[in-house]
Amino acid sequence: MSILDRFRLDGRVAIVTGASSGLGVAFARGLAEAGADIVLAARRADRLAGTAALVEQAGRRALCVPTDVSSPDDCRALAEAAAAFGPVGVLVNNAGVASAVPAGRETPEQFRSVLDVNLSGAYWMAQATAAVMRDGGSVVNISSVLGLVTAGLPQAAYAASKAGLLGLTRDLAAQWSTRKNIRVNAIAPGFFASEMTDEYEDGYLDARVRDLPISRPGDADELAAAVLFLASDASAYVTGTTLTVDGGLVIS
């Protein structure tokens, strides 16, 4: 097998949650270009058709499954549908919600709603997928650099959920890498254009990226390439780690 062959995903099914928009679309397209058939999941099922079209343009099959990852039942149904579609080899836990509420005003309901999707939802999806995943599978959790540093916004719930996801990644890797032969890793993206960044105040993103060592926002394809690395056999000796893709934010 050549080094480039290690990045191929032929014969595998990849599940991508949060696949209706933004980075999830880029992840689905990138994994399809590497040869995977893609199971697309999101609460907004009507918006999955566009992502499915991109997967099919890459010559791969797509299956759309409406899913609320905060529901363990939905997660199990998604995993079962994926297993019927083909041999599940990859899970990209990308579904997420953001919040920017000052800590003194954040309600219990607001805090829990973020953790239910970003942290608990990733756990329920990992549990359900591990039960049907082929030997040598890979789970890629999409965390955030805000699980490692702060960025000038009041994001206690979001930061807590993304930091928790890093801990979950390490623990699942320790449990499953040997017993199930499933690798579990995380990516901590910096500033990438998405529906979340669309909600920033005017000028915030420009001010934040101006002082980065790589002084621009990231491109979605750059992040998709990192996902492909961790999803594929190119990273066969990598588990329990967090790959920071942030233009140097954590060192700036």
Task: Provide the pLDDT confidence category of residue 131 given band limits of 50, 70 and 90.
Answer: very high
* % of residues, the chain, pLDDT over 70: 95
Alpha-carbon torsion, ordered 221, 43, 76, 141, to 10 deg: 30
Q: What is the DSSP letter of 187?
A: E
Domain locations in the chain as residue ranges? 4-244
Query: What confidence category does residue 39 fall into, taking pLDDT thresholds of 50, 70 and 90?
Result: very high
Mean pLDDT computed over every residue of the chain: 93
| pLDDT for res 99 | 85
The CA distance from 127 to 115, in Å, is 17
The residue with tokens 């998709």 is 224
Q: By three-state DSSP, how is residue 104 classified?
A: coil
What are the residues whose beta carbons fall under 8 Å from the beta carbon of 205, sequence distance 6 or more? 191, 197, 217
Is 237 assigned a catalytic role? Answer: no
Q: Other CB atoms closer than 10 Å to residue 107's CB: what's the count?
A: 9
pLDDT digits (tens, 9 = 90+) for 64-113: 999 999 999 999 999 999 999 999 999 999 999 988 888 999 999 999 99
Catalytic residue among 158, 200, 204, 237: 158
In this predicted model, what pLDDT tens digit does every residue of 156-205 receive, in sequence order?
999 999 999 999 999 999 999 999 999 999 999 998 876 665 666 666 66
Fold designation for 4-244: Rossmann fold (3.40.50)
Strands (E), the chain: 13-17, 37-42, 62-66, 88-93, 138-142, 183-189, 242-245
**pLDDT mean over 230-241:** 98
Identify the pLDDT of residue 201.
Answer: 65
Note the pLDDT of residue 197.
59
